[in-house]
Amino acid sequence: KEKRMALFGEYVKRVATVLENYLNGFYRFEEPSIESLYEGFAAHTLAGKKRKEETNRTHLKYMLKSHKGDYIRFNCFTLPGRPGKTYYPGLAFIMLRIALGDQNKGEDLKEKLKEIASNTDGNIYLSAGIKRIIERAIEINSRIFSEGFPDECGTIESFYNLLEKSEGFMGLFERLR
């Protein structure tokens, strides 16, 4: 019983870190809202008609329910809860937000991303600056999500390719210009 309580405490601590970092990862001109968090972590397939068929105790253990009744999943970083490949660009953007909100390195990363965006022609390239930002994002997220960290986000190139496909990231990059 003590071991389960310790694991639950660790889970709660990780969720708190994710929530805090994610919401702190917004720029001043953006309006972070609880809805943006719910959209980022929404478990559409788990909240649908097939919910009982597709969920198990592991899935439910890593989920919260929003004030609107939507399920929010934090198990997307665990092996049993990994989303489909089509969700990975959004997941990469969530991971970038979490890194941008890190209490130790977040503000510096935000400034670097803003500087890179303002000095481009509107296109994003895998420059040395972008590589450093992604490297920090991988480092921060792999520390939080030690188990189940998506292999597809584990290298700078793969993380970058996913960010390029993320509408949220491309929209943010454009606004930073």
- What tens digit of pLDDT does each residue of 49-102 get? 344 444 444 445 556 666 676 666 665 555 555 566 677 788 888 889 999 999
Residue 93 lies in a domain: yes
Residue 153 lies in a domain: yes
Residue 68 lies in a domain: no
Give the per-residue pLDDT at 52. 43
Residue 90 lies in a domain: yes
Nearest residue to 19 via CA among 132, 136, 106, 101: 101
What does pTM read for this prediction? 0.78
Which residue in this structure is represented by tokens 């609880």? 34
Q: How are beta strands 71-73 and 63-65 bridged, if at all?
A: antiparallel
Residue 110 lies in a domain: yes
Give the list of residues 6+ apart from residue 64 with CB closer than 8 angstroms, or none: 15, 71, 72, 74
Which residues form the domain of 112?
85-176
If one counts the domains in the chain, the total is 1
The alpha carbon dihedral of 97, 98, 99, 104 has a sign of positive
CA dist., res. 72 & res. 63, Å (int): 5
Average pLDDT, the chain: 78
Residue 92 lies in a domain: yes
Residue 49 lies in a domain: no
Residue 155 lies in a domain: yes
